[in-house]
Amino acid sequence: MSTATVFHTSLDAREVEERLKQVQAKHALLSTSSYSYSMVRVSSELDNEILEELGFNFHSVSYFGITEIRNAHPVLSRAVELMKEEFKDAEIIALFQNEIMI
């Protein structure tokens, strides 16, 4: 069973969807042949309460997940760094099993 890395952002969900398309086209590592992407969703009050309970001082507006596709051999830490780079003008955190990666 694969575990998703969840990215919470300070951006509107539609903007995140558009940017993800651009990021996937720009970086082969982040293509859909290496990762499965969940739909971008609008964060709820409950999502933000959970982040707060986990100790994160962050207001999430939207979120999405990526999961490595078995046998694709992507490098998760590099994928997270690329997302951080591509979303550097926004607030973004990445959680893997409720541990912060960025």
Which pLDDT does position 72 carry in this prediction? 63
Structural domain count, the chain: 1
- Residue 78's pLDDT is 83
CATH code of residue 23: 3.30.70.2920
Q: What pTM did the predictor assign?
A: 0.88
**DSSP strands (E only) in 13-96:** 35-37, 41-42, 62-68, 92-96
Spans of the chain below 50 pLDDT: none
Q: What confidence score (pLDDT) does residue 71 get? A: 66
Domain ranges, residue 77: 5-100
